[in-house]
Amino acid sequence: MTHQRMQLIVMGASTLLTAGTAPAHVPYLETTDFTWEKPFRVRGSIAQSIAVYGWLEGANGVTEDIDVCQFTLRRPTKVFVETLVPVCTDYAEFRPSFAIVGPGLDVPNEALPFELPEGYGAIVVPNYSDPQRPTFYEPFGNKSYYDGPEFEQVLSTPGTYYVVVWDPAGIVGDYVAVLGDKEVWWPWDIIRALIQTPKIRRGLELHTDCR
């Protein structure tokens, strides 16, 4: 990489990362459905903060879709997950829940819209039941979001884990799964952000006319 290109990347990253005081997450967009067979794979550490812009798809506003993200633990690690929903008229009742699925976890009492892999348990993290949903403005993507449920816990058993997202009411919608809470930016992350952030700021990741 030439010195001039690196300067452009650094300048662009500085613009992106100083867009506001909110944390900046490395952005990933769901271009094909994230399934058990083809999940979104966290390539690095689950501690690095990334934002997966996903979509629970369906017909006539109804979905049975689930989205699956996969990560690996080799040692005890604090795992942070949060789901957010863009503030749109169509998403006033869209409240996706998620579950952490992995080895060493108990089988939950709650009903799940999927079967657990053999030998796995899960921690279910339901969405808010309070009709008054708090919102916040996120300057990185130039959007307002409904606050969503959070999970933060040290998981100790090594192995492959999954974050599974679904909507208990079967409503179609866009969401953001924030995985990790440490802002770490490698050169390729900066390049990704320079490519994806303009799309997000223009609303091209959404599947509805957000009003």
Span 86-97, mean pLDDT?
Answer: 95
* Tens digits of residue pLDDT in 33-74: 999 999 999 998 999 999 999 999 999 889 999 999 999 999
SS3 91: helix
Span 149-166, mean pLDDT?
Answer: 97
* Tens digits of residue pLDDT in 99-154: 999 999 999 999 999 999 999 999 999 997 677 889 999 988 889 999 999 999 99
Cα 32 to chain centroid distance, Å, stands at 15
Higher pLDDT, 11 or 138: 138
Alpha-helical regions (H) of the chain: 3-17, 187-201
Lowest mean pLDDT among 21-35, 148-162, 169-183: 21-35
For tokens 């017909």, the residue is: 59
* Tens digits of residue pLDDT in 175-188: 999 999 988 888 98
If one looks up domain 3-201 in CATH, what number appears?
A: 2.60.120.380
- d(Cα 85, Cα 130) in Å, to the nearest integer? 15
Residue 141 tokens read as 């993507």
pLDDT of the residue at 186: 87
Give the number of other Cβ atoms within 10 Å of residue 202's Cβ. 11
Q: For the chain, which residues make up each domain, given as ranges?
A: 3-201
Residues 6+ apart with CB under 8 A from 118: none
Span 171-198, mean pLDDT?
Answer: 93
pLDDT of the residue at 177: 98
pLDDT of the residue at 48: 95
Residues 6+ apart with CB under 8 A from 167: 56, 63, 94, 95, 96, 97, 173
